[in-house]
Amino acid sequence: MSGESNEIRFSQKAKDRLAWYLTRYPTRQAALLPALRLAQEEFGHLTHPVMDYVAGQLELPPVTVYEAATFYTMYHKKPVGEHCVYVCTNVTCFLKGADQLLEYLSGKLGIRPGQATADGKITLFSVECLGNCDKAPTVQIDDDYHDCVTTESADRLLEKLR
Amino acid sequence: MPELILTKDLDVPDYHRLAGYRSRGGYGALKKALDEMTPATVGAEVKKASLRGRGGAGFPAGTKWGFIPAQTEKPKYLCVNADEGEPGTFKDKVIMERAPHMLIEGIILSCWAVGIHHAYIYIRGEFVKARKILQAAVDECYAEGILGPKVMGKEFCLDVTVHAGAGAYICGEETGLIESLEGKPGKPRIKPPFPALVGLFGCSTVVNNVETLAFVPHIIERGADWFLKIGSERNPGTRLFGVSGCVVKPGVFELPMGTTLREIIYTHAGGLPEGRTLKGVIPGGVSAPILTPDEIDTKADFDSLAAKKSMAGSGGLIVIDDSVCMVRLLARIARFFAHESCGQCTPCREGTDWAFKVVSRIERGEGQPGDVDKLASIATSFAGITICVLADAAAGPILSFVQKYREEFDLHVTEKRCPLENKAPSRPGP
């Protein structure tokens, strides 16, 4: 583990960003959520060595970092594909056919929610309310929301990721 | 047409930018307050306006500010609750994306009134677009001297930090939010002490919702007496109602508090699609107990909905038509609460999961005699005995669905199947 963690280092840009975050809070721990987001952007997902590195940067016990990282759904503890596709299946999206949409995407990609395609391109997720209920069903791809998604528009969205 | 307050100028070009906001008088209320008023008179005006919290509980913002001790040795903080995660709610996003400066002006006025020098906007992690727009607006304010060491050139310093969550419904609960901001899992705290005395970083803290704060500049500019004339008794002002589900025109509608559910659904959201009839409406986000069609003449304000044993909550109406299986819908709601229970209180952690399992087996046609009563008794057993209200929020839908659609639950058990021929939601796709 120590051999691996030696190779884990924030880019200069991430270091500058973290330094800025640290100016915004009276405690170093308060910068943990932003720091974990940075780490995920830099390293793809949060391995134990990555979380240990974040702990070192914030002078926190590693367990404090594990505890936060495992509590929140947006931190990936396992490797994810190049793109993440999140299908909202909560109440309004459910009323608008989100279950069928998720099943369609699952079949088309040949994976279950939580899995990545064999080529490592796409990971599919079923998620709780995205707060975009007037445009249900909503699909989030990476950072972007897509409104009123149908099987046809989902096909087009996936095409762009290939 | 009823008077619009928050959404009047949303279509002004570049309203999300400082120039666009200023072109419609933006930051005029702040200037008026700083030039002509004192922090105490700003607080008094908001208190007089009876501005009730638009996040869910409806607690008067001015009264909340009044709980903050005037003199403290430690700093005081404002946490802006922009975690908008209550299913069926999508109105704070509209303010953050299209009128971020209105929120910031409300933040500055509130901080000035209470003597706060740092505000944190806790925005849910998924709202990346809103976060970028909000951050750009904050940056503009620093560049123009609206935020920073001298707000508008006055002896008042204020920092605003946009802080992203990372995916957890419970962080919308005010003490869960505070824990999360401190870099911990968002597990709610035992109250008392309330955040007003021991909040963020152990300091006195105000937690206000986005929409609530966005009203503050308008109240300061036009006065509490004007605000009190809008809306219903003890529920002044307008509200952003989000309507979704089985309606022709889902969206956000700004209407006076006290507008009836019927008017919101049929006049503003276009009613139900042809051939469909109303089966129920969840009036304030998924935590709010469901109302039946004969209850929709109720005014959508905090007190009227509480009198119907439901709640105005977040103002998100979810409309349900006759094609929807209520058992299946409740199973979906129960799954949500089981997933989002933070796990620290045993009754909630175990009870929400147990309820989900029981309603799921009823839905699959595997329910045993007595299961429907068991479901209600599980919900009754975990409500009201936990640190926060997530357990109560989980119990409300279970108890109201079982009570109001009992026959449908019983039929699933006796016939071992769904009595509705079309089990699937009515219209896959939009």
Q: What is the pLDDT of residues B348-391, one digit of tens each?
A: 999 999 999 999 999 999 999 999 999 999 999 999 999 999 99
* CATH code, residues B232-321: 3.10.20.600
Best to test chain A binding among B123, B126, B187, B287 (most A CBs inside 10 Å): B126
Contact A33 B163 (CB under 8 A): yes
- Would the CA dihedral through B310, B311, B312, B316 be positive or negative? negative
Whether residues B165 and A72 touch (CB distance < 8 A) is answered with: yes
- Higher pLDDT residue, A154 or B71? A154
**Do A150 and B109 touch, CB atoms closer than 8 A?**
no
B232-321 and B326-415 in the same fold: no
Which is it for the CA torsion B108, B111, B115, B119, positive or negative? negative
Q: What is the CATH number of domain B326-415?
A: 1.20.1440.230
Residue B279 CB burial class (10 angstroms; 0-12, 13-18, ≥19): buried
Instruction: State which residues of chain B have pLDDT below 70.
Output: 1, 421-430
pLDDT of residue B420: 83
Q: Give the closest of B90, B333, B425 to A131, CB-based.
A: B90
| Residue of B77, B89, B90 to mutate when probing chain A, most A C-beta within 10 A | B90
User: What CATH number belongs to B18-229?
Assistant: 3.40.50.11540
> What DSSP state is assigned to residue B334?
H
- How far is C-alpha B295 from the chain's CA centre? 22
CB A45 within 8 A of CB A79: yes
Question: Residue A3: is its pLDDT beyond 60?
Answer: no
The predicted pLDDT at position B421 comes to 60
Using an 8 Å CB-CB cutoff, list chain A residues near B168. 71-73
CA of B163, closest CA in chain A: separation in Å?
8
Q: Which residue of B has its CA nearest to A26?
A: B201
* Nearest-by-Cβ selection for A97 from B126, B163, B425: B425
Q: Which residues, in sequence order, are bridge partners of residue A84?
A: A123
Strand segments (E) across A1-142: 83-88, 122-127, 139-141
- Express each pLDDT in A97-140 by its tens digit: 999 999 999 999 999 999 999 999 999 999 999 999 999 999 99
**Domain boundaries, given as residue ranges, for chain B:** 18-229, 232-321, 326-415
Q: Does B55 touch chain A (CB under 8 A)?
A: no
Contact list in B for residue A68 (CB cut-off 8 A) is 183-185
* Interface confidence (ipTM) of the complex: 0.95
Beta strands of chain A (E only): which ranges?
83-88, 122-127, 139-141, 144-146
B234 SS3 class: coil
Residue B82 φ then ψ, to 5°? -115, 35
Give the pLDDT band of residue A1 (cuts 50, 70, 90): very low
Residue B120 and residue B80 in contact, taking contact as beta carbons nearer than 8 Å: yes
Return the pLDDT at B427: 43
Residue among B164, B250, B252 minimizing CB distance to A33: B164
Q: Which residue of B90, B201, B426 is in closest CB contact with A133?
A: B90
B248 in contact with A at a CB cutoff of 8 Å? Answer: no
Residue B428: list chain A partners with CB under 8 A: 96-97, 100-101
- So what's the pLDDT on residue B138? 98
Q: Tell me which residue in B129, B185, B246 faces A67 most closely, judged by beta carbons.
A: B185
Nearest CA in chain A to B185: A68
Whether A74 shows a pLDDT value over 70: the answer reads yes
**Pairwise CA distance, residues B54 & B47, whole Å:** 15
8 A C-beta contact, residue A60 and residue A15 = no
In this prediction, residue A162 has a pLDDT band, given cuts at 50, 70 and 90, of confident
Q: Does B407 touch chain A (CB under 8 A)?
A: no
Residue B204's alpha-carbon distances to B109, B155, B162, B199, in angstroms, are 17, 22, 19, 5
Please tell me which of the candidates B124, B180, B332 has its beta carbon nearest to residue A131. B124
Name the residue in chain A with its Cα closest to that of B82. A131
- Please, which pLDDT band fits residue A6 given cuts at 50, 70 and 90? low
Model confidence at A7, in pLDDT bands (50, 70, 90)?
confident
Number of A/B CB contacts below 8 angstroms equals: 165
- Return phi, psi of residue B363, to 5°: -65, -40
d(CA A41, CA B175): 28
Each residue's pLDDT tens digit, B284-312: 999 999 999 999 999 999 999 999 999 99
What predicted TM-score, i.e. pTM, was given to this entire model? Answer: 0.96
Confidence of residue A2 (pLDDT cuts 50, 70, 90): very low
